[in-house]
Each structure stands twice: as structure tokens, then as C-alpha cells.
Amino acid sequence: MLTVIIPTYNEQRNVAGLAGRIVRALADTDYEILFVDDSTDNTPQVLTRLCRINRRIRFIHRPGRRGLASAVATGFAAAGGDVLAVMDADLQHPPEMLPVLLRRIQEGSDLVIASRFVPGGSNGGLSLLRRLVSNAARLIGQLALKDLRRTSDPMSGFFMFKKEVIAGVALAPLGWKILAEIMVRGHFQHLAEVPYTFRSRREERSKMNLREQVNYLRHILRLVADSPEDLRFWKFCLVGTSGVVVNMVFFFLFTRLLSLGAIPAALGAAVLAMSGNFLFNDHFTWNHRKEGNPWERALKFYLCCGLGVLINVAVLAALHGLLRLPGAAANAAGILAATIWNYYANNRWTWAV
Ligand code: GDD
Ligand code: MN
């Protein structure tokens, strides 16, 4: 059975129309509709009436507004289906997509996301400002968390999955983005995306606000803290940044106090910074993987980072020399490429498990 979970907060003018369209769309399916409602308007009364007319419709009313993600998690716990769908109540998510999502599940996907950002999809329903904020949020999320890079629309509020994806998983919903929670903590292999058009809201208003945007950042931080692989990359970046400081301090000391020339000073500072980085990474970033001979790890680390310097210079030369990009921008791109190389190479080789 499919359970369609719909969080509602003051949607009295939307729920009846929505329920009607879901019932029509799922006519040939075994399903239930589960509203999880925190409303202070007449939504509960409308829902009570709907439940009386149609036995497939249920609703849970929670006193006090407790948040979108937590409402959805409440829905997961109460759902009777072995397939769960989540969608909004305001008709911005077209109910006619439900059978399309369900077919992908039946074809073997564990998680199907309705996406605004695959060919055929559109994000027309958001104002320009909201679209900007939404894109920034998506970028931050996908930068911070590897799992969110598996989809084009990790911020989607419209998706379907097999219940086993969250079996035994302790969800810690905070704010709005329950899909991010599922993608980081859940267990799934096959992921599918289906394009859809996010229409603009006709009735009532969006419940998004600044507080939820702050909650989003808190949520991402918490997910990173709970995700060892992502955390390791950020630790590596922190060590790298400290290395830049060490490098600059020694360069200053060597040129000013020891009156060395710029090239020997830079070489000396780089070797010291790299050694500091090695020790830090060995005791902090990859502390749990310190196996075998430390000198061998150090040698591997120098080799990887040495190649990283070459990559940095090659990218700089290509972008600045060939494509005529400003030097600083070209160097920034080079540093980024080298950082990614250094991380993966050291992760796979120097501190391989
Ligand atoms: N129970 C409950 N409690 N429901 C809530 C709460 C709450 O505290 N806050 C919001 N909701 C419900 C709304 O009633 C609506 O059904 C749904 O959550 C989404 O709220 P909207 O106000 O319509 O959000 P939006 O349109 O700005 O953004 C939505 O769509 C985007 C695209 O899929 C959200 O789902 C976003 O997370 C999503 O990115
Ligand atoms: Mn909406």
C-alpha cells in the first residue's frame, strides 16, 4: 500500500481540492492519504469532513506548530503503507505525478524524487528572490554533503520511497528539509528523478520564513557532524587552511629575519607547512586510519601534495594563459582542483583502509 503524507499548516482552502485530485489520480491503486496537521485555522474541520466521506483519508492533528519536517516524520511513524510519498498541500506539487512516481518504485527504484531541475521540469512557482535563496541553499547543501549530490533537487518536498529506506534509521528532523535527512541517514541504492512543474500557489500563502532558513543551516551542520565522510573532508580543508597560515608565517620569518631570497624562503615555508599538515591530518583528519609505518604515510602525503602543486599550476596556466582569465580567479580554480585531488588521493592511498 502507498501512504501519501501531507503536512498542513493553515491550508483550509486547499485540502479538499487536493484530496479530490489525489483520489482521481490514484483510482487504480491501494493507498491512504495521511494529513499531519498543525493548523490554527479551520483545516482540522475540513479534514474531519473529508475523513468522513472517504475512508482512505486519515489525519493527525498536533497541537502547536511543530515544523514541517517533524510533521512528515510523525506521518512516517503512523503510515500503514510499505511505500511512502510526501507532498505539499497547496497544489504546487501536482497530484497527477503520484502514479508516475509509483511506477518508478515498482520498476525497482528505492527513492524517486520529483525534480524541478531535470529537463522537462520547472521552478516557475517561486518568486525571483525565493529562487535565489533556494539556489543558494541547494548549493550549500550539495557542497557540504556528498549524499545530496546524488540528486538535482535535494530541496524537493515531493518524493516517494520504499519504507525500508528508513527502517531502523533514527531521523532527527529539524526545519523543513526532510528529504535531506532521508538522503543522508537512509539506506537506498536506486534513485530516480522525475521532472515536474512547480506551479505558483493559488490559495493561502507560503509558510517559509527567515527562521526556517536559519534552521536549514543548522540542519546541514548537524547532518555534516553526523556524516563521517563529509566531516573528514571539512577537517582536511581546515588543516589545509591552517597550513596556509603556517606557510605565510614562515615565509615572513625566512625573508625578514633570515634575509633569505623569495624562492628558497617559499620552498622552506612550503615544506614546513606540508609537514605540519601531515601531522595534523595523521592525528586529526584520518586519526582512525593510522596504520603501518608513519614515514611511508608521510612520503605518500608529500607525493600526493606535490602532484597537487602541479595540478594547481597546470589549471592556473590553462585558465590564465590560454583562456585569459584574471590571475587570481585562475589560481583560485587551481587551488580548488588541487584541494579536491589532494583529498581524494590521500583518502584512497595515504590513509587507505
Ligand atoms: N504540519 C505542518 N507544520 N505543516 C507545515 C508546517 C508546519 O509547521 N509548515 C509548513 N507546512 C506545510 C504547508 O501547509 C504546506 O503543505 C507544506 O508544508 C509546504 O509549505 P509551503 O509554505 O507551501 O512551502 P513552499 O511552497 O514555500 O516550499 C515547498 O516546496 C518546495 C519545492 O518542493 C517546500 O516543500 C519546500 O521544502 C520545497 O523546496
Ligand atoms: Mn508551497
As for the ipTM of the complex, it is 0.98
Query: Of 178, 199, 226, at which residue does a domain stop?
Result: 226
205 and 247 both lie in a single domain: no
Look at ligand 1, atom 27, and give the residue with the nearest C-alpha.
206
Average pLDDT over every residue of 119-145: 92
Of the residues 9, 133, 159, which should be mutated to test ligand 1's pocket, given the most ligand atoms within 8 Å of the CB?
9
pLDDT for position 353: 81
CATH number of the domain encompassing residue 171: 3.90.550.10
Closest residue (by CA) to atom 30 of ligand 1?
Answer: 157
Sign (positive or negative) of CA dihedral 310, 312, 315, 317: negative
Query: Strand 191-195's sheet: what is its strand order?
Result: 57-61, 31-37, 2-8, 83-86, 159-162, 111-115, 191-195
Residues 215, 281 within the same domain: no
State whether 220 and 327 are in the same domain.
Answer: no
Model confidence over 11-31: pLDDT tens digits? 999 999 999 999 999 998 999
DSSP string, 56-113: TEEEEE-SS---HHHHHHHHHHH---SEEEE--SSSSS-GGGHHHHHHHHHTT-SEEE
Domain range for 328 is 229-350
Whether residue 240 sits in one domain with residue 221: no
> What confidence category does residue 124 fall into, taking pLDDT thresholds of 50, 70 and 90?
confident
Is 259 found in the same domain as 207?
no
pLDDT beyond 80 at 125: no
Q: What is the pLDDT of residue 120?
A: 95
Residue identifier of the C-alpha nearest atom 37 of ligand 1 = 157
Boundary of a domain, candidates 226, 261, 279: 226
Q: Which residues line ligand 1 (CB under 6 A)?
A: 7-9, 11, 36-38, 65, 67-68, 71, 88-90, 92, 155-158, 176, 198, 206-208
What whole-number percentage of the chain has pLDDT above 90?
A: 92
Q: What spacing in Å lies between the alpha carbon of 66 and ligand 1's midpoint?
A: 12
Residue count of the chain? 353
Query: Mean per-residue pLDDT for 120-137?
Result: 90
Residues 264, 211 share a domain:
no
Q: Tens digit of pLDDT for each residue in 78-112?
A: 999 999 999 999 999 999 999 999 999 999 999 99
Question: Ligand 1 mean position to 106 CA, how many Å?
Answer: 27
Is 131 in the same domain as 265? no
Average pLDDT, the chain: 95
Work out how many domains the chain is built from and give that number. Answer: 2
Q: Indicate the residue among 226, 250, 273 that finishes a domain.
A: 226
Question: Which ligand has the minimum distance to the alpha carbon of residue 219?
Answer: 1
The answer to whether residues 326 and 188 belong to one domain is: no
Q: Are residues 218 and 131 in the same domain?
A: yes
For residues 259 and 202, state if they share a domain: no
pLDDT value of position 65: 86
88 Cα–ligand 2 center, Å: 6
Q: How far is ligand 1, taken at its centre, from the CA of residue 306, in Å? A: 49
In this structure, the answer to whether residues 144 and 263 fall within a common structural domain is no
Residues 175 and 149 in one domain: yes
